[in-house]
Structure 1
């Protein structure tokens, strides 16, 4: 039995269409009212968008309903699906806690409420019936002011039992004017001992080499092998890993064809740069991690040996996986203890 690690999944984009539709029907029918039937909603929710910014607007639809009261509902279904349908042994959930607090409160009040959100997500993710190692990545956001983003970094440092790292989200084309600010925040995060990743080099507008030294992993990063392959040796030396989410680039209009990813994988393997294959927004895409694997294989983007290397890289770069072995190896040790006998 293969068991997988998922390093890049957004809490907002993880809700599959059917679960979100049922929630709207039962609790907020006004949000379901514009659609005549479920199929119309699913088509709206999962269809490709023209740009990353247009695609990211869908997150606001879910963020509004993911409150401290409703998050356990959504997380239970997320974890159940991840365990039953995806064979996940490890899952990092990322989100911006500030955007799950009531928007009628003042900025300071919302900052104070963020810890409650992190605790709710942390407790709801720990399920005996669906044993998956989970942790959270807290996302700074390009739409939020410096004070809020700094508070997110500090909260991540304060809640390490639940949080394994920080990220920046909101579309990588929007960082330029505040780049010094983000560099300072990432430097601050590293000084606090935090693990770091960041949405970077996803689009052609999001190429910021100034941020690379502060990142342990790179969220997407596909424009590095596509447009800036001269940076790959640097990434290899620093042991940085790309979190590649194949379906995303077709949904956002970033790539025209999945075949374009062959260059990404080939150049990274040649340079010794690790790739973890991820889903990003499994609900928005209506896909699961094994489908991402199968799709890459079916389109001859990678072979089985490369797939296995990516799966191993995911565990190796997982911020909260504390074991030297993959879970299959641990199971083999249990099932065949005689293999561990010496002499």
Structure 2
């Protein structure tokens, strides 16, 4: 039964270790020789890193094999796993389309090919046997030049059938030298009616309040309640939602233990700031969304009422969810129509 929504999942980090390793063994001799045994590959792929930048380097490993030809292979398996094992009814996949284009092409040709990539991802995400609403978030990147990032914004505006928003990725510390540039790109996106989120306030090196007014959601944002709680009032007034991805912060060395997240949730709930619990890179972490829920509960970071509030918030802030209610509420209505209260009472 599909019940949940994941608003923050990267296409590059969504491939589970076993599927990626099998692909190497069958289709990539170089990487197959580099990782001949699965256990060694899983340990390498999922271990904790010392910094966000080191962690993000793993994306390049996957991006190198996620091409126009292979994307349907990976996406089918991603959708199948998300539906069967995670009970997802809604999924937003984010990625930088430029990094899925052919590297031998010129910059202009790669920009042109990005539209093909969006089309491939969009069609591959529609799997009849695993009915799930999906949409794409296109990521600008801190290591890409302005003209490529602007082309990503324009592409998002041209394909509302497949794309629901834009983001900026590439490590939050790299924003500093180009902050004005990304402010202008977000202003441009909002002028086109594009919805926005952004990797911000994830680490202490990525705190840029100048970008907050242009975001509808905040990718991570944990440093706001941890280090800058005075900003929570503004976040609440803007009706922004934090996309909290618990496992990420231990994989990147940002936090040391899960109990540190309790203050994040407590301060946000107190300030009236919504939180959506997400996976970020489910493959890199070898973790699925229900585990994130369970781990927060069993470690007393949140209670069941707060979990339900976060699940409601995920659908409320989903950029492409077409209904007013989350699936659980819709199912409850259907059950009441099928089994009137008297009938349910008599059946007991």
TM-score (ref. length: structure 1): 0.98
- The Cα offsets for residues 101-148 of structure 1, whole Å up to 9 and x where unpaired, read as 011111000000000000000000001100000000000000000000
Name 2:180's counterpart in structure 1.
Answer: 180
Name 1:70's counterpart in structure 2.
Answer: 70
Extract unaligned runs of 5+ from structure 2. Answer: 342-348
Residue 325 of structure 1: how far off its partner (Å): 0.8
Aligned residues of 2:2 and 2:89 also touching (Cα < 8 A): no
SS in 2 for 1:211: helix
Residue 328 of structure 1: how far off its partner (Å): 1.7
Aligned residues of 1:333 and 1:339 also touching (Cα < 8 A): no
1:21 aligns with 2:27: no
Residue 275 of structure 1: how far off its partner (Å): 0.3
Aligned residues of 1:246 and 1:279 also touching (Cα < 8 A): yes
Tell me the C-alpha RMSD between the 2 structures: 1.2
Work out the CA distance in 2 between the residues paired with 1:217 and 1:279: 16
SS in 1 for 2:210: coil
SS in 1 for 2:208: coil
SS in 2 for 1:14: coil
Name 1:230's counterpart in structure 2.
Answer: 230
Work out the CA distance in 2 between the residues paired with 1:53 and 1:192: 31
Residue 339 of structure 1: how far off its partner (Å): 8.1
Aligned residues of 2:246 and 2:279 also touching (Cα < 8 A): yes
Name 1:12's counterpart in structure 2.
Answer: 12
Name 2:50's counterpart in structure 1.
Answer: 50
Work out the CA distance in 2 between the residues paired with 1:110 and 1:28: 23
1:104 aligns with 2:67: no
Aligned residues of 1:236 and 1:271 also touching (Cα < 8 A): yes
Aligned residues of 2:86 and 2:288 also touching (Cα < 8 A): yes
Work out the CA distance in 2 between the residues paired with 1:231 and 1:10: 27
Residue 338 of structure 1: how far off its partner (Å): 6.4
Aligned residues of 2:8 and 2:92 also touching (Cα < 8 A): yes
SS in 1 for 2:202: coil
Name 1:121's counterpart in structure 2.
Answer: 121
SS in 2 for 1:13: coil
Matching of residues 1-343 of structure 1 within 5 Å: 1=1, 3-337=3-337
Work out the CA distance in 1 between the residues paired with 2:338 and 2:255: 50
Work out the CA distance in 1 between the residues paired with 2:247 and 2:156: 29
Residue 269 of structure 1: how far off its partner (Å): 0.4
- Aligned pairs, how many? 341
Work out the CA distance in 1 between the residues paired with 2:70 and 2:338: 48
Work out the CA distance in 2 between the residues paired with 1:2 and 1:320: 16
Extract unaligned runs of 5+ from structure 1. Answer: none
Runs of 4+ in 1 over 3 A off after TM superposition: 338-341
TM-score (ref. length: structure 2): 0.96
Aligned residues of 1:333 and 1:340 also touching (Cα < 8 A): no
